[in-house]
Amino acid sequence: MLNLLDADKKEIECFFEAIGEKKFRAAQVQSWLYRGAMNFEEMTDLSKTLRRRLDEEVRKGTISLGGITRLAALSSSDKSTEKFLFGLSDGNAIETVLMRYKYGNSVCVSSQAGCRMGCVFCASTIGGLKRNLTPGEITAQVTAVLRHIKDEKGYSLSSKEERIGHIVIMGTGEPLDNFDNVKRFIEIVSDPHGLAVGLRNITVSTCGIVPMIGRFAEELPQVNLAISLHAPNNAVRSTLMPINRKYPIEVLMPACEDYVKKTGRRITFEYALAADRNDTEQQAEGLIRLLKRYFREKNGTAGLCHVNLIPLNKVEETGLEGSDRRKAETFCGLLTAAGVPATIRREMGADIHAACGQLRLSENNPDKTNI
């Protein structure tokens, strides 16, 4: 089966030649796919006969248009966040989130079905890793969300009114555990002739696979990097994130420092606040010391990094609770007062289980939630 979103133009040209069609059909079809087309019937500059023929090939399983189908969609009460559950051709399911900000549409995509990193607070890792997603399956999440927005607003597929401005690779999976496919995905979505998402508007989030951070800086220097830190020291971090035993903080931090030096870009640290685990004043002070050791600038602040604080989303299975608002504000205040840039991330989708992997879990266990 050839997933047309995985294939490059040459491969699609070969496909058309093999079925006795002209090569230029490849560019036409690709352009429709990037606009959010879901079947050939919608590709109105192809002849009716060809469209029918191609839809027949899809039914036969020779080709697919992205390889994902929508299983469920949920909207937060204020409509700012929507979460989608997509099925893959092999029966696995993945999640994608659309966040509508004042500055535009942002999509959070999954990079793997399941995850093998084992972070104790995270719902995505509970069933382990199923498999890597292909570049086309990651891209299809973006085009399906774009299509959803266009449909909702009644815009035609060719309308330029709505676009995806930002992408975060922060859904299920560890992107640096699937580096080649994620890199290819980034090339596809940033292509100016396609979805044209600026490289500077794409963020990859990692639990800290150190050898891949160097490669990331080399090969994707314009893309933003976020590190899931979640603790200021090894004693706490290793209890939350097993990867810390392989790449502890004294190995992770120099890699982050190198990234900043090589790319000249700011680095983000994600810090999910879990009540009584990593949210004390002492831990805030530990975090300040740690970040200043590696990111101190001449003016004394840690200006080349940013800490994204988020009260941990409660996942039934993990037994961990998020810190309350006051605790989060105190923690944030300590960091900023010491010259470590920090913000508390707005929680946009808690009412629709938008935390990592939660929708997939609740689909499997319908009695556990109110979906």
- Where in the sequence numbering do the catalytic residues fall? 95, 356
CB of 3 to ligand SAH, least distance (A): 23
Query: Which of 39-47, 76-84, 118-126, 194-202 is the region at the interface with ligand SAH (rule: CB under 6 A)?
Result: 118-126
Please pick, from the candidates 4, 68, 85, 207, the single residue that binds ligand SAH as defined by CB under 6 A. 207
Nearer to ligand SAH, 205 or 244 (CB): 205
Residue 255 contacts ligand SAH per CB under 6 A: no
Within the chain, residue ranges assigned H as helices are 9-18, 25-35, 48-60, 135-153, 179-190, 210-219, 234-240, 243-246, 249-263, 281-295, 325-337, 358-364
Q: Find the binding residues for ligand SAH in span 217-236 (CB under 6 A).
A: 228
Nearer to ligand SAH, 33 or 113 (CB): 113
347 contacts 311 by C-beta, under 8 angstroms: yes
Residue 96 contacts ligand SAH per CB under 6 A: no
Beta bridge partners of 307: 269, 342
- DSSP-derived letter for residue 345 is P
Residues 254 and 260: their CA atoms lie apart, in Å, by 10
CA end-to-end distance (rounded Å), the chain: 34
CB of 319 to ligand SAH, least distance (A): 11
3-state secondary structure 43-73: CCCCCHHHHHHHHHHHHHCCEECCCEEEEEE
Residue 362 contacts ligand SAH per CB under 6 A: no
Q: CB burial class (10 A; 0-12, 13-18, 19+) of residue 192?
A: exposed
93-101 and 104-108: which strand pairing? Answer: antiparallel
Give the count of residues interacting with ligand SAH (CB under 6 A).
Answer: 18
Residue 273 contacts ligand SAH per CB under 6 A: no
68-75 and 63-64: which strand pairing? Answer: unpaired
The residues near 246 (Cβ < 8 Å, ≥ 6 apart) are none
19 contacts 38 by C-beta, under 8 angstroms: no
Nearer to ligand SAH, 96 or 228 (CB): 228
Please pick, from the candidates 5, 7, 94, 272, the single residue that binds ligand SAH as defined by CB under 6 A. 272
Residue 336's Cα: distance from chain center in Å? 27
Residue 186 contacts ligand SAH per CB under 6 A: no
Q: Find the binding residues for ligand SAH in span 307-326 (CB under 6 A).
A: 310, 312-313, 315
Residue 122 contacts ligand SAH per CB under 6 A: yes
Residue 355 contacts ligand SAH per CB under 6 A: yes
Residue 268 contacts ligand SAH per CB under 6 A: no
Nearer to ligand SAH, 228 or 362 (CB): 228
59, 226, 261, 292 from 295: Cα distances, Å: 55, 15, 10, 5
Please pick, from the candidates 88, 170, 288, 309, the single residue that binds ligand SAH as defined by CB under 6 A. 170
In a 3-state reduction of DSSP, which class is residue 81? strand
Nearer to ligand SAH, 159 or 239 (CB): 239
CB of 177 to ligand SAH, least distance (A): 8
Residues 55 and 39: their CA atoms lie apart, in Å, by 7
Query: Which of 113-121, 137-145, 256-264, 363-371 is the region at the interface with ligand SAH (rule: CB under 6 A)?
Result: 113-121
Residue 144 contacts ligand SAH per CB under 6 A: no
Residues that bind ligand SAH (CB under 6 A): 117, 119, 121-122, 170, 174, 205-207, 228, 270, 272, 310, 312-313, 315, 355-356
